[in-house]
A and B are shown apart, each in its own frame.
Chain A
Amino acid sequence: MSAEIQANFYQTNPGPEGVLATAETLRWEAGGGFHEKLMETIYADAARIADRAVTRPGEKPRFDLDSTIDRIVTSRVWGFPMMLLLFAIIFWLTISGANIPSAWLATLFMDKIYPALHAGADFLRLPWWLSGFLIDGVYLATAWVVSVMLPPMAIFFPLFTLLEDFGYLPRVAFNLDNIFRKSGAHGKQSLSMMMGFGCNAAGIVSTRIIDSPRERLIAMITNNFALCNGRWPTQILIATIFIGTLVPASLAGLISAAAVLSVALLGVLLTFVVSWSLSRTVLKGEVSTFSLELPPYRPPRVLQTIYTSMIDRTILVLWRAVMFAAPAGAVIWLVANVQLGGLSVAEQIINLLNPLGVLIGLNGVILLAYVIAIPANEIVIPTVLMLTVLVAHLGGAGSGAGVMFQGGDSSTLSVLQAGGWTLLTGVNLMLFSLIHNPCSTTIYTMYKESGSLKWTVVASLLPLGMGFMVTFFVAQIWRLFIR
């Protein structure tokens, strides 16, 4: 465009419109590749300035530790075995390390404080229903949650955070990227899945890093298959008392860890399968590309990591569990003690749910526990135990309905066996704990993030339906071949 025409534009179009018109014409004049030329200029200037400011005294170290580690942990051959080994070690440390403090806390809460509270209530002449409600309901549920959940979390979260701080998680994402792409999902979904291993609600928020709405929805719907904080303790406890006891004591920790790892891996597998099915059916579309930067390894700050993971994760999750456990304990005590037609409300519901539960290798108690535990997965096990004691009438003289009992793995096992549990019940509970509806916090987050009622309902009911199907088939096959 010549200068005269330009001047014309200026006069006919003096305002903002004129600026745009000029830009339009000049864009042609500047020619193609403007963007690239400009970027090259910026890069060149940046390189020049950086070069002037940085000096490297001496030779570059011949041995580059970071890339050596990367070559191993992201290698085609060693990448996956290394990943499995690392997570197996973490689970094993958690399971074998948590036993002793768990038993210690249980003794403190159940053997020392619990009788003391009852003695205090008797001294104050509290009516039986009040002391029962407060001590046998609220206190016991809370104490149970703390003694069962605190030790494994206090070991698991710092270890996981150390791994994160070290910089290993992006390598996991790198390893998994290829499978995600083949499932028709975004590679960054591996990162949101990693977050989901901590908390599904946080995982769903973190899918914001995915730009395409289609791929983001897939990531949200499948996030529930990443085993979250609230479900780790269930897995660890059930694996310890049902699967660990199948083998000699020296191998128990290892086998339990392997069982927990298998469930977690099954969750990853389901993530792929569901992503694949969604992207082939209702959420069809192209896979977008992205670049994933592998950050340098950093020496983890051990003490600080332990401190922040205790505060950020352990205490937070525990607090949430306690907040939900206390009212849940009250509800359980109430349904166990309010009589309707000769039976307690709880027994009536359990009898109603039992046929369905038994059909899928579980029982009515577990199903009722999952209804009560919708606000928080953390309280499933305490609820199951309280309800089991109630139905099996194990309380013994002096203890009212809805009272919980001493903790400790062996006594837990005997209570559950008295409640009619078998190995199948344990295995199916682990499966159902992995595959069922998300907790109410996650559902709400899903609704807020997706803004869609439809997809929230899909994300809630799809895993629930899958859970019923999986446990049903496992139960049928089990009964055909094993028993």
Chain B
Amino acid sequence: MTEKQPTLESQAGCATCPVHNAANLLKLGVNMEDWDFVVALSGNPNVGKSTVFNALTGLRQHTGNWPGKTVARAEGGFDYGGHRFKMVDLPGTYSLLATSLDEEVARDFILFGQPDVTVVVVDATRLERNLNLVLQVAEITDRVVVCLNLIDEARRNHLLVDERRLARDLGVPVVPTSARYNEGFPELLQAISDVATGQVATKPYRVQNEPPELKRPISQLVDQIQHVFPDLPNARWVALRLLDGDERIIEAIQKGELGDLSHGSSEDPAGNLELRLEATR
């Protein structure tokens, strides 16, 4: 991998090694004027999203060992490798089916906010349940980085997680971290930056073993959606939501929000989301 010189003054040795690029990290807190990339942070409740968020942005969102600590979105920023990243900490959810307000907030941001990278923080000790969310996120967006957090706890429970195998199976970068003990962040930053700048192309795994009776309706609807919205990146996911009768997505199609998406010009999605949150309160 070719790497630019570190932008900050750094001492020789480790700091010039691309892997140890944390020296390039500049925590920006909430001082976000303009940014090059938007990074969404999602994951199940209580897997350490806020801890990761705080470590990268230098903010101090309150963290705690209980699910549902983060109820609204938090935003912060950092500068890494010469690019400015805006990071959005989404509420923790088990799925993206929008059955409650926090799931809707998370889902809408990933769908309509069109982040450049979506980091899914997963609990290494509960991989199976956490992967459900990863697979759902990967249906919506290609640009996914999996942050395999709580690796310290996995070690404590004598679990070995093969992150290379996982990365190969999922088709996206997988970075083991231990946010509580500040391990793995240089690698995570590099992965985020690689996916954001397109240096690493992701090819996420798509759920494929659906029962045969669903296969035909899905493919038929996908065809038509692709015909009407040729540039839509996630036609299959939209088809699944429509077949499931998801009111929000039906509404998005009626109002033409989905059409905007396919042309990549949804206007200020973050602002809209904020308004909608206010309205539902």
Q: Are B220 and A34 in contact (CB under 8 A)?
A: no
- Which of B101, B135, B158, B253 lies in contact with A42, CB distance below 8 A? B135
A27: interface (CB < 8 Å): yes
Chain A neighbourhood of B131, CB < 8 A: 45-46, 49-50
CB-CB under 8 A for A30 and B160, given A20-B253, A43-B132, A165-B64? no
- Which of A29, A41, A43 lies in contact with B217, CB distance below 8 A? A29
B213: interface (CB < 8 Å): yes
Bound-state CA distance A45–B128 (Å) is 9
- Which of A6, A18, A52, A295 lies in contact with B220, CB distance below 8 A? A6
Q: Are A38 and B166 in contact (CB under 8 A)?
A: no
Bound-state CA distance A449–B258 (Å) is 31
Chain B neighbourhood of A211, CB < 8 A: 100-101
In chain A between 294 and 329, which residues have their CB closer than 8 angstroms to a CB of chain B?
295-296, 298, 301, 308, 311-312
Residue of B nearest to A304 (CB): B180
- Which of A18, A41, A55 lies in contact with B210, CB distance below 8 A? A41
Distance to closest chain B CB from A80 (angstroms): 19
CB-CB under 8 A for A169 and B160, given A47-B128, A49-B170, A53-B127? no
Q: Are B210 and A38 in contact (CB under 8 A)?
A: yes
Chain B neighbourhood of A51, CB < 8 A: 128
Chain A neighbourhood of B68, CB < 8 A: 188, 191, 209
A23: interface (CB < 8 Å): yes
Bound-state CA distance A37–B131 (Å) is 17
Instruction: For chain A, give the interface size range.
Output: 35 or more
Q: Are B127 and A50 in contact (CB under 8 A)?
A: yes
B205: interface (CB < 8 Å): yes
Chain A neighbourhood of B211, CB < 8 A: 37, 41
Q: Scoring A residues 86 to 129 as 1 if CB is less than 8 Å from chain B, else 0, what string do you get?
A: 00000000000000000000000000000000000000000000
Distance to closest chain B CB from A456 (angstroms): 14
Q: Are A164 and B217 in contact (CB under 8 A)?
A: no
Residue of A nearest to B225 (CB): A19
- Which of B102, B205, B254, B281 lies in contact with A20, CB distance below 8 A? B254
Bound-state CA distance A173–B67 (Å) is 11
Distance to closest chain A CB from B231 (angstroms): 14
- Which of A20, A47, A50, A170 lies in contact with B67, CB distance below 8 A? A170
In chain B between 86 and 117, which residues have their CB closer than 8 angstroms to a CB of chain A?
97, 100-102
Chain A neighbourhood of B244, CB < 8 A: 34-35, 38
Bound-state CA distance A57–B158 (Å) is 7
B36: interface (CB < 8 Å): no
A214: interface (CB < 8 Å): no
Q: Scoring B residues 42 to 63 as 1 if CB is less than 8 Å from chain A, else 0, what string do you get?
A: 0001100000000000001010
A44: interface (CB < 8 Å): yes
Q: Are B258 and A16 in contact (CB under 8 A)?
A: yes
Distance to closest chain A CB from B41 (angstroms): 18
Distance to closest chain B CB from A302 (angstroms): 13
Chain B neighbourhood of A398, CB < 8 A: none
Q: Are B228 and A15 in contact (CB under 8 A)?
A: yes
Chain B neighbourhood of A292, CB < 8 A: 67
Q: Are B221 and A46 in contact (CB under 8 A)?
A: no
A341: interface (CB < 8 Å): no
Q: Are B159 and A56 in contact (CB under 8 A)?
A: yes
Q: Are B165 and A30 in contact (CB under 8 A)?
A: no
- Which of B60, B71, B210, B259 lies in contact with A206, CB distance below 8 A? B71
- Which of B210, B220, B228 lies in contact with A14, CB distance below 8 A? B228
A54: interface (CB < 8 Å): yes
Distance to closest chain A CB from B193 (angstroms): 24
Chain B neighbourhood of A58, CB < 8 A: 158
Bound-state CA distance A57–B154 (Å) is 12
Q: Are A53 and B228 in contact (CB under 8 A)?
A: no
Q: Are A57 and B160 in contact (CB under 8 A)?
A: yes
Q: Are B101 and A20 in contact (CB under 8 A)?
A: no
Q: Are B72 and A208 in contact (CB under 8 A)?
A: yes
Distance to closest chain A CB from B97 (angstroms): 8
- Which of B66, B97, B159, B253 lies in contact with A167, CB distance below 8 A? B66
A421: interface (CB < 8 Å): no
A396: interface (CB < 8 Å): no
CB-CB under 8 A for A164 and B64, given A34-B243, A38-B210? yes
Distance to closest chain B CB from A437 (angstroms): 23
Residue of B nearest to A27 (CB): B243
Bound-state CA distance A219–B100 (Å) is 18
Q: Are B158 and A61 in contact (CB under 8 A)?
A: yes
Q: Are A451 and B217 in contact (CB under 8 A)?
A: no
Bound-state CA distance A177–B225 (Å) is 46
Q: Are B209 and A41 in contact (CB under 8 A)?
A: yes
B207: interface (CB < 8 Å): yes
Bound-state CA distance A188–B208 (Å) is 37
Binding site for A on B (CB under 8 A): 45-46, 60, 62, 64-68, 71-72, 97, 100-102, 125, 127-129, 131-132, 134-136, 153, 157-163, 165-166, 169-170, 180, 205, 207-211, 213-214, 217, 220-221, 224-225, 228-229, 239-240, 242-245, 250, 253-254, 256, 258-259, 281
9 new A-B contacts, CB < 8 A, other than A45-B131, A54-B160, A55-B160, are A19-B228, A34-B214, A38-B214, A42-B132, A43-B132, A45-B208, A46-B135, A55-B162, A451-B281
Binding site for B on A (CB under 8 A): 6, 10, 14-16, 18-20, 22-23, 26-27, 29-31, 34-35, 37-38, 41-47, 49-58, 61, 164-167, 169-170, 173, 188, 191, 205-206, 208-209, 211, 292-293, 295-296, 298, 301, 308, 311-312, 449, 451
The 9 closest A-B pairs by CB, nearest first: A23-B242, A46-B131, A50-B128, A208-B71, A53-B166, A26-B217, A50-B127, A167-B65, A209-B68
Can you list 26 A-B pairs, Cβ within 8 angstroms, ordered by A? A10-B224, A16-B254, A19-B221, A19-B224, A23-B250, A26-B217, A27-B242, A31-B213, A35-B97, A35-B244, A38-B210, A42-B207, A46-B129, A46-B131, A46-B134, A53-B162, A53-B169, A54-B160, A54-B161, A54-B162, A56-B160, A57-B160, A170-B65, A292-B67, A449-B281, A451-B281
